[in-house]
Amino acid sequence: MNLANVSMRKAVLIPGDGIGPEITDAVIGVLDAAGVAIEWDRHYAGLAALDDSGDVLPQATIDAITRHKVALKGPCTTPVGEGFASVNVRLRKTFNLYAAVRPVRNLPGVETRYQNVDLVIVRENTEGLYSGVENEVTPGVVMSMKVATETGCRRIAHWAFRYATQRKRKKITVFHKANIMKMTDGLFLRMAENAHKKDYPNIRYESAIIDAGCMRLVQDPSQFDVLLLENLYGDVVSDLCAGFVGGLGVVPGANFGETEAIFEAVHGSAPDIAGRNVANPLALLMSAVMMLNYLTENEGDEAFGQAAERIRAAYDRALTDGEKTRDLGGTLDTDQFAQAVVQRL
Ligand code: NAI
């Protein structure tokens, strides 16, 4: 499409680490082919930024997100058990992106053990055990603090019920461990119950202790609609649910605050397959589709939503035609799958 006379909206692109640059290139190729009028302001975070600027989250990246309000982000590596703090956690805290949303749905042409999966995970993104408050009490004794605030628990509960109402979802299930963590998970649970009773009585509400909830999930995920979880549970259950529909290559995500939104796949930087052009770009492409729909809902420009629908229909057709990357049992490389989507736009 000729974009010469179209006014371009700017958005931040963070390629990320590991498979990040490969899948972001593939996704931008599809968005360009679909005629999406976005000018990408490319900035770095994670290891890629560390090499360049000495910081995993450079001020220039923060400034660009503040300016443009939306970002599409590839995954960023965090060292295990040592080294710098997660840039993902820092980004979420910097912009107060308290609501993470991960839709998990069966896709056409992707056979799994589970059918009729159509659930949405809403994860509190700024509190819980991800507060990063860890210390050594005495040699050999370390502790990590789980933080829950009334404000944080209330706002994510209301966010989830508002989301469920707008998307015509019927039920919210809270997973918790308030039998053990009576204060922190107890507060989370109480705020969700209050939101339901006071403001959203028309959305069905239930709660489950997370261990039994996970058992019910793997028995029959189709019984769930919207799952509301605190930070750590949401992180773990997101990957678990990805397994229902084909794995981490097919589950998108978005992180919302009051003014900024960052769109990224649920998966990480997949160092085991990085640099080989075999990663599935679909989860990031689906995250980009979420971003386009968000732009239409927030800024009223229908063209983004229309492009989102064309892209969604194109990847559905590609999958139905058996055009798949290796993680889904196919043979396509990253760029070949992107090309298969482009051919069907
Ligand atoms: P991971 O999600 O990167 O990989 C787990 C498994 O799934 C690997 O076998 C990988 O090859 C496969 N996989 C992931 N995405 C794939 C894709 N698009 N296509 C095909 N296969 C895919 O999780 P892991 O290995 O635990 O973490 C690696 C790094 O990513 C860590 O440094 C972690 O901190 C970081 N991470 C970053 C996230 C983010 O930036 N939002 C989220 C999760 C992890």
Which pLDDT does position 51 carry in this prediction?
Answer: 78
How far is the C-alpha of 86 from the C-alpha of 232, rounded, in Å?
14
Q: What is the pTM of this model?
A: 0.96
Test site for ligand 1: of 76, 248, 287, 328, most ligand atoms within 8 A of the Cβ: 248
The predicted-structure confidence for 110-138, as pLDDT tens digits, reads as follows 999 999 999 999 999 999 998 888 999 99
Helix, strand, coil distribution of the chain in percent, nearest 5: 45, 20, 35
- Rounded to whole angstroms, how far apart are CA atoms 328 and 111? 9
Distance CA 158, CA 164 (A): 10
Say whether pLDDT at 323 is over 90: yes
Amino acid identity, residue 303? A
- CB-count exposure of residue 84 (10 Å: 0-12, 13-18, 19+): middle
**Residue 77 Cβ < 6 Å to ligand 1:** yes
Rounded Cα distance, 189 and 230, in Å: 10
- Give 193 Cα–ligand 1 centroid separation in angstroms: 34
- DSSP-derived letter for residue 118 is E
Alpha-helical runs (H) found in 36-149: 47-53, 59-68, 87-94
pLDDT of 4 higher than 70: no
Domains (ranges, CATH) in the chain? Answer: 1-101+247-345 (3.40.718.10), 113-245 (3.40.718.10)
| Cα-to-centroid distance, 235 and ligand 1 (Å) | 12
Quote the mean pLDDT of the chain: 95
- Give me ligand 1 centre to Cα 230, in Å: 21
Q: List beta partners, residue 330.
A: none
Instruction: Report which protein residue has its CA nearest ligand 1's atom 25.
Output: 270
